[in-house]
Amino acid sequence: MRTPLLAANWKMHHTVGEAERYLRHLVELLDPTLNLEIVVFPAFTSLHVAARILEGSPVKFGAQNAHPEKKGAFTGEVSMAQVADLGASYVICGHSERRKLFGETDEFVGAKVQAAWSFGLVPILCVGETLEERKGGQAWPVVERQLASALPQGTLGGPLAIAYEPVWAIGTGFPAHPGDAQDMAVRIRRWLLSRFGPVGEEVRIQYGGSVTPENARDFLTLPDVDGALVGGASLDPDKFWAIAQAAVS
């Protein structure tokens, strides 16, 4: 059985003080008996706060992004080595906002996944189609291309999670239909098994796209969805905890 993975992607929200209050409250809310893994992704400016407050807690933290090169003249970037040095466990690779707004290619995202493994980080590889691609019958071809570019034939380089995030559902308040999420999770699982064999069964597949406390149960109880990558609703620790409870209820 795969342990559900619930991730809070804060994006460009929360100052250091706000992050500290959030994390302290989240730790207070925790029920350590729940069969659930929780990861928070603060802004870079608050990663040190997460490292301090979450030490000894079952809650893990990660970076929303990192550059695949170990070091170099990349002004404004942060490396996987620097993220790992803070004690982070996870890194998000290829979020649709990074692909769309910052021009990250499938190949560049793949380089990030490989770099994450080399520094002991668990990548959450984000894949998903636009509304136009879905309407054009290209949802699976797009996702398959993104998977193949990031995960070459051979063996997985370490633990991995995949977040299926239909681009048209992110931050819009209009999530995908649970049946669409389940169908895509099944396709991704079959692809993983065909490419990597039994180890593909260990990869957790999340849904991401306007998950809220009100609809979380619809997605988190799907047989082939192993958690969620939560954006806007994760900015409030009480709402995020409500979603976490839906994952195990």
20 and 53 Cβ atoms separated by less than 8 Å: yes
- Assigned token pair, 37: 């893994």
What residue type is assigned to position 219 of the chain? F
Q: Does 25 qualify as catalytic in the annotation?
A: no
Find the catalytic residue in 95, 97, 129, 133.
95
Which helix (H) or strand (E) is 216 found in, with range?
Answer: helix 216-220
CA angle 100, 12, 159 (to 5 degrees): 70
189 and 205 Cβ atoms separated by less than 8 Å: yes
CA 23 to chain centre: 18
Distance separating alpha carbons of residues 235 and 181, to the nearest angstrom: 23
- Assigned token pair, 43: 């802004």
Name the 3-class secondary structure at 200: helix
Find the catalytic residue in 97, 104, 129, 165.
165
Active site members: 95, 165
